[in-house]
Amino acid sequence: MSFPQGFLWGGATAANQCEGGYQEGGRGLANVDVVPHGPDRMAVSRGDRIMLSHEPGYYYPACEAIDMYHHYKEDIALFGEMGFKTYRLSIAWTRIFPNGDESEPNEAGLVFYEDLFKECHKYGIEPLVTITHFDCPIHLIKEYGGWRNRKLVDFYKNLVTVLFTRYKGLVHYWLTFNEINMILHMPFMGAGLVFEEGEDREKAKYLAAHHELVASAWATKIAHEIDPDNKVGCMLAAGSVYPYSCNPEDVFAAQKGNRNNYFFIDVQSRGQYPNYALKEFERKGIDVGMTDEDRTILKENTVDFISFSYYSSRCTSTDPEVLAKGMSGNAFRGVKNPYLKASQWGWQIDPLGLRITMNELYDRYQKPLFIVENGLGAKDDPDENGYVEDDYRIDYLRQHILAMKAAVEEDGVELWGYTTWGPIDLVSASTGEMSKRYGFIYVDKDDQGHGSLKRSRKKSFYWYKKVIASNGEDLD
């Protein structure tokens, strides 16, 4: 048997991409509520186009999303039917603290998640909770400038103390920040940052990153103090950077690309800033305001496990001709790898890259890994009952599960679990579309927000059920 007994199979979602109900139960407005669908989405996500409230003429897909706020019992029952052992979801900060800086939490928000966790346990599903998944109260952005302000560390400490206390016994697995390295690429989504003309963006991003790293270490400390059974993980948008050629210049560029990402996990897992980052900050005049207390907190509270998302490897080059070709794809822009095929959205498909990434992470940190996102965003064509023959999705997942199996079986990587991204169709983070579907469960809703929200099982639903029932042995 390649996967240990108790291996955590499941699926992963984020509040802003599925919950909706953005004004219900006393919830406050968050950054994610004001990121529109359409051509301005990336500029807003990056903090280039400042949009801190709803503007006329835009559609904001997070406001209703797939309305899981009202459908969660039905959705969790479907996850239960597939045999999920875990369900990764995120907390909307503004349900618990509508403005973010209150001293008392909002009871209605706490009750919502309490009921949801209890619903999971009915089916033997262990919740895996992301505390912050692209989520920051608008009030904290307007009043304090988002994570560039150290005060957010204190607000986050209040939030996590409330969560760990209230959900003690109901939740044992926590992730502090989703894809923490995304702060460099989508700083408004990742850290509530908007930029003024002429501002040194790199400095602002690393200052915000430092505050998130310190907040993450505090959360780890508080989680362990409140319940020694709590396991806390970091979360990286992973995918090794390959050199385009064996030219040492390309190899060195790839190493730098990897360090840009691993920097965050180096701090969260090893407890200190790596020398390469200290040197770079010195050269660039970046001062993150490290205090003695920060140093101690980081050192003494490293994570219990390393979680990550994996969609693709990346590739880099120093050759201007190769660079000029560019590539489409996600927030991590790189060059096109000629050996790989790509999804309908231009994300390259590289199952062996998952094994390579797992090995790199395990070699570097020697801590258990948890794959908390992996999947294929694709267009589906449902029949009149909402059934989709999604062999392309099954094939993508099968190839990746085989690669992960090889990493466990043949390389000896310690892996706690695997949650596919978007087990139920939800709003795409990068495009705001519904038509970029990842689910085993089809949701009737289109890119403009029309549809009955009806849920139906796809072919992959029955396939994944079999995969889980056989603990990853039956992949046919």
Q: Give the separation between CA 201 and CA 222, rounded to whole angstroms.
A: 31
Q: Does 155 bind ligand BGP (CB under 6 A)?
A: no
Q: Give the separation between CA 265 and CA 364, rounded to whole angstroms.
A: 10
Q: Does 238 bind ligand BGP (CB under 6 A)?
A: no
Q: Give the separation between CA 16 and CA 14, rounded to whole angstroms.
A: 6
Stretch that binds ligand BGP, among 202-210, 241-249, 428-436, 445-453 (CB under 6 A): 428-436
Q: Which is nearer to ligand BGP, 240 or 431 (CB)?
A: 431
Q: How far is the CB of 235 from ligand BGP (least distance, A)?
A: 8
Cβ(327)–Cβ(333) below 8 Å: yes
Q: Which is nearer to ligand BGP, 71 or 185 (CB)?
A: 185
Q: Does 430 bind ligand BGP (CB under 6 A)?
A: yes
Among the listed residues 178, 181, 220, 316, the single contact to ligand BGP using CB under 6 A: 178
Q: Give the separation between CA 3 and CA 286, rounded to whole angstroms.
A: 44
233 torsion bin: left (phi>0), alpha (psi -120 to 50), beta (else): beta
Stretch that binds ligand BGP, among 38-46, 255-263, 264-272, 424-432 (CB under 6 A): 424-432
Q: How far is the CB of 237 from ligand BGP (least distance, A)?
A: 6
Q: Give the separation between CA 165 and CA 52, rounded to whole angstroms.
A: 32
Q: Which is nearer to ligand BGP, 179 or 294 (CB)?
A: 179
Q: Which is nearer to ligand BGP, 100 or 422 (CB)?
A: 422
373 annotated active-site:
yes
Among the listed residues 237, 253, 358, 467, the single contact to ligand BGP using CB under 6 A: 237
Beta bridge partners of 456: 442
Among residues 170, 200, 364, the alpha carbon closest in space to that of 286 is found at: 200
Q: Does 153 bind ligand BGP (CB under 6 A)?
A: no
Cβ(176)–Cβ(220) below 8 Å: yes
Q: How far is the CB of 183 from ligand BGP (least distance, A)?
A: 12
Q: How far is the CB of 422 from ligand BGP (least distance, A)?
A: 7
Among residues 246, 207, 353, 24, the alpha carbon closest in space to that of 361 is found at: 353
Q: Give the separation between CA 105 and CA 273, rounded to whole angstroms.
A: 34
Q: Give the separation between CA 422 and CA 309, rounded to whole angstroms.
A: 12
Stretch that binds ligand BGP, among 76-84, 199-207, 242-250, 425-433 (CB under 6 A): 425-433
Cβ(298)–Cβ(220) below 8 Å: no
Q: Does 132 bind ligand BGP (CB under 6 A)?
A: no
**Residues between 290 and 329 with contacts to ligand BGP, criterion CB under 6 A:** 309
Q: Does 447 bind ligand BGP (CB under 6 A)?
A: no
Among the listed residues 14, 32, 358, 388, the single contact to ligand BGP using CB under 6 A: 14
414 annotated active-site:
no
Q: Which is nearer to ligand BGP, 149 or 374 (CB)?
A: 374
Stretch that binds ligand BGP, among 78-86, 159-167, 253-261, 427-435 (CB under 6 A): 427-435
Q: How far is the CB of 181 from ligand BGP (least distance, A)?
A: 10
Residues that bind ligand BGP (rule: CB under 6 A) add up to a total of 14
Q: What beta strand segments (E) does 91-167 contain?
A: 126-132
Among the listed residues 183, 429, 443, 467, the single contact to ligand BGP using CB under 6 A: 429
179 torsion bin: left (phi>0), alpha (psi -120 to 50), beta (else): left
The token pair at 213 is 């790293």
Q: Give the separation between CA 21 and CA 40, rounded to whole angstroms.
A: 23
Q: Does 208 bind ligand BGP (CB under 6 A)?
A: no
DSSP annotation string for 331-369 = SS-----TT-EE-TTS-EE-HHHHHHHHHHHHHHH-S-E
Q: How far is the CB of 364 from ligand BGP (least distance, A)?
A: 21
Residue from 19, 119, 126, 373 carrying the catalytic annotation:
373
Give the position of tokens 């907190």: 297
Q: Does 31 bind ligand BGP (CB under 6 A)?
A: no
Q: How many residues does this entry show for the chain? A: 476
C-alpha count within 13 angstroms, C-beta hemisphere, residue 234: 32
Q: Which is nearer to ligand BGP, 179 or 304 (CB)?
A: 179
Q: How far is the CB of 409 from ligand BGP (least distance, A)?
A: 27
The token pair at 220 is 């780890």
Q: Does 421 bind ligand BGP (CB under 6 A)?
A: yes
DSSP annotation string for 235-259 = EEEE-PEEESSS-HHHHHHHHHHHH
Residue from 119, 126, 179, 212 carrying the catalytic annotation:
179
Q: Which is nearer to ligand BGP, 106 or 374 (CB)?
A: 374
Q: Which amino acid is at 154?
A: D
By annotation, the residues acting in catalysis are: 179, 373
- Which residues are at the interface with ligand BGP (CB under 6 A)? 14, 17, 178-179, 237, 309, 373, 377, 421, 428-431, 436
